[in-house]
């Protein structure tokens, strides 16, 4: 099996924490051919989509220690047609440049792409969650996406709650997430102006979301594979911080999904599979879906440690089954 990861640069990986390196290590350990590339390396020549790829050279013995494996890796760097891979695994950090998906459109019928191009096109920012059809608000807290300051001010004023969450549409890792309160209305217009018009020459969308009770105690991250939860943990924020992301200092705890969590995962999982979003991270607070992460959801290392498991094995098993099925279908034609 040949797999190409379109991801953040190799030198930026923290081997002690990174999720991608754990998936790569498992695949290499099984003898699969693994290459990595970056979106900026994509090109088209003579109607063929290629990328400058770093292919991991075979090792006589693959170290079981991931930091040691990371240090020992050697690459063969060359331009390769993406169509020669069995799997393209998207692991770049959001926001995703839409042009990357245009490059991948040319191979999406020939290569298994995780996640699917059309699914990523729809879900690569937080609008995907905000637009989820949930009229009774059983799964999603009331959410508003806009760049109209007057409209957003009116939403805050009319809210039955004293607090709301505000965040940029394309943020990740907890960047820019803040709690706003009606008692500080005189500051909110300035904040909205900064979030929306802070980039000179370009206005940005922001999200206003109903404050879910319990948010101050953190959230639950659930990793989903083909519509099913394969692992979860609770993330706790630092004292005085609303963000529970590990990247900003949040801590983690073992977590068992509740009945309400499982119902949410089943309903959302069905939609994820329909949209070709086979690997995703759900962020849940008090049984409500806050975000869906479809590009590079992390936490594999922490879930593994808390539960004495190796989720990367489930991911590798899944890819092997998918590719075997595709090869069988092609052979039978």
Give pLDDT tens digits for 242-288. 555 665 567 999 999 999 999 999 999 999 999 999 999 999 999 99
Alpha helices in the chain (DSSP H): 20-29, 66-72, 98-105, 117-123, 127-130, 149-158, 185-197, 259-274, 300-307, 311-331
**Checking DSSP bridges between strand 33-37 and strand 2-7, what pairing results, if any?**
parallel
Dmax of the chain from CA atoms? 68
Q: Which residues contact 213 (CB under 8 A, 6 or more apart)?
A: 286
Mean pLDDT on 217-240: 92
Mean per-residue pLDDT of the chain: 91
Q: Which residue is associated with the tokens 């009770």?
A: 213
* 246 or 129: which leads in pLDDT: 129
Torsion of CA 245, 21, 63, 35, to 10 degrees: 180
Tokens of 52: 């400058």
Q: Which of 290, 278, 192, 284 is nearest to 232 (CA)?
A: 284
- What structural domains and CATH numbers belong to the chain? 2-120+316-331 (3.40.50.20), 142-210 (3.30.1490.20), 217-294 (3.30.470.20)
pLDDT of residue 55: 98
What percent of the chain has pLDDT above 70?
95
Judged against a pLDDT cut of 90, whether residue 98 lies above it is answered with no
CB 139 within 8 A of CB 289: yes
Q: Which residue is associated with the tokens 């099984």?
A: 30
Q: Which residue is associated with the tokens 């805050």?
A: 156
User: pLDDT-derived band of residue 135, with 50, 70 and 90 as boundaries?
Assistant: confident
Q: Which of 33-47, 165-179, 239-253, 266-280 is predicted with the least confidence, judged by mean pLDDT?
A: 239-253
Q: pLDDT of 201-221, one tens digit each?
A: 688 899 999 999 888 888 999
How many Å separate Cα 32 from the centre of its chain?
Answer: 24
pLDDT of residue 186: 82
pLDDT of residue 182: 84
Mean pLDDT on 13-29: 97
Q: Which residues contact 157 (CB under 8 A, 6 or more apart)?
A: 182, 185
pLDDT of residue 243: 54
Q: Which of 44-53, 103-112, 179-188 is predicted with the least confidence, judged by mean pLDDT?
A: 179-188
Bridge partners of 180? Answer: 164
Q: Which of 4-13, 25-34, 120-129 is predicted with the least confidence, judged by mean pLDDT?
A: 120-129
Mean pLDDT on 79-83: 98
Q: Which of 286, 287, 298, 289 is nearest to 173 (CA)?
A: 298
pLDDT of residue 248: 57
Q: pLDDT of 304-317, one tens digit each?
A: 999 999 999 999 99
What percent of the chain has pLDDT above 90?
70
CA atoms within 13 Å, Cβ hemisphere of 3: 25
pLDDT of residue 184: 82
């Amino acid at each position: 099996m040949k797999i190409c990861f379109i991801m953040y640069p190799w030198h930026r990986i923290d081997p002690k924490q990174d999720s991608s390196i754990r998936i790569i290590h498992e695949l290499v350990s099984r003898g699969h051919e693994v290459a990595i590339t970056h979106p900026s390396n994509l090109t088209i020549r003579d109607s063929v989509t290629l990328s400058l790829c770093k292919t991991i050279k075979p090792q006589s013995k693959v170290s079981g220690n991931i930091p040691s494996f990371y240090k020992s890796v050697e690459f063969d760097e060359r331009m390769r047609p993406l169509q020669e891979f069995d799997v393209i695994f998207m692991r770049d950090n959001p926001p995703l440049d839409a042009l990357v998906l245009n490059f991948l459109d040319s191979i999406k019928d020939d290569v298994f792409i995780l996640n699917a191009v059309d699914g990523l096109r729809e879900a690569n920012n937080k609008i995907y969650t905000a637009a989820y059809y949930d009229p009774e608000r059983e799964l999603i807290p009331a959410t508003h996406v806009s760049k109209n300051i007057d409209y957003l001010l009116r939403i805050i004023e009319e809210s039955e709650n004293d607090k709301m969450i505000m965040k940029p549409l394309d943020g990740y890792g907890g960047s820019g997430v803040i709690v706003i309160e009606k008692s500080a209305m005189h500051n909110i217009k300035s904040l909205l102006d900064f979030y929306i018009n802070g980039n000179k020459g370009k206005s940005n969308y922001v999200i206003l979301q109903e404050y879910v009770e319990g948010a101050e105690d953190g959230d639950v991250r659930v990793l989903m594979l083909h519509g099913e939860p394969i692992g979860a943990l609770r993330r706790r924020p630092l004292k005085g911080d609303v963000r529970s992301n590990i990247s900003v200092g949040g801590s983690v705890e073992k977590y068992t999904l509740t009945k309400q969590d499982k119902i949410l995962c089943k309903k959302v999982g069905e939609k994820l599979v329909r949209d070709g979003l086979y690997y995703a991270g759900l962020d849940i607070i008090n049984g409500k879906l806050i975000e869906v992460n479809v590009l590079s959801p992390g936490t594999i290392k922490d879930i593994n440690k808390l539960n004495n498991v190796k989720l990367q094995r489930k991911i590798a098993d899944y890819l092997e089954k998918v590719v075997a099925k595709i090869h069988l279908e092609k052979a039978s034609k």
